Amino acid sequence: MVGSGDDGGEGDGDHFEVLKGMDPEADERAELLKDRFRLSVISIATSEAKKVNMEVAEPVVACIADLAFKYTEQLARDVELFAHHASRKSVKMEDVILSAHRNEHLANLLRTYSQELKGKQLQTESKKKRSSKKDDKEIRD
């Protein structure tokens, strides 16, 4: 499995062709992002494993991190295509939800999450409006 650094770089070279080989600067940035990404995956994976009272072996986490990174690259390409297809210049929530269309459960989970987000956003917006209206009143009084 994914263990030594040397073999890992050559082994998955064909999959990383999108990011590698463009220019050394982009390669460096990609490596940096990959490392930061791996750290996040490690923290999520260890907390998930704790929930079921299990430990995770390091090669497992490294493998999941690499897979998740490739998935993120694919997601970025898909989401950009969807936004472009909808004649939009920026990627919106619906593009991300659409990328999960092959799995209905997943799409529904994301939809409820996005609705919760929207609800929270509206709440904070209305709170701001209410508090600013209160301030106006006090000033007038």
First to last CA, the chain: 72
Residue choice 9, 13, 108, 113 for contact with other proteins (CB under 8 A): 113
Q: Does 122 bind other proteins (CB under 8 A)?
A: no
Give the residue carrying structure tokens 């990011």.
Answer: 19
d(CA 99, CA 78): 7
Residues of span 33-72 touching other proteins by CB under 8 A: 33, 36-37, 40-41, 43-45, 47-49, 52-57, 59-60, 63-64, 67-69, 71-72
Q: How far is the CB of 129 from other proteins (least distance, A)?
A: 19
Task: Using CB atoms within 10 Å of the CB of residue 117, give its burial: 0 to 12 exposed, 13 to 18 middle, 19+ buried.
Answer: exposed
Residue choice 9, 13, 15, 88 for contact with other proteins (CB under 8 A): 88
* 102 and 119 Cβ atoms separated by less than 8 Å: no
Please give the C-alpha separations between residue 38 and each of 43, 47, 68, 139, in angstroms, as whole numbers. Answer: 9, 14, 9, 52
Binding region for other proteins (CB under 8 A): 1, 18-19, 22, 26, 29-30, 33, 36-37, 40-41, 43-45, 47-49, 52-57, 59-60, 63-64, 67-69, 71-73, 75-77, 79-80, 83-84, 88-93, 95-97, 99-100, 103, 106, 109-110, 113-114, 117-118, 121
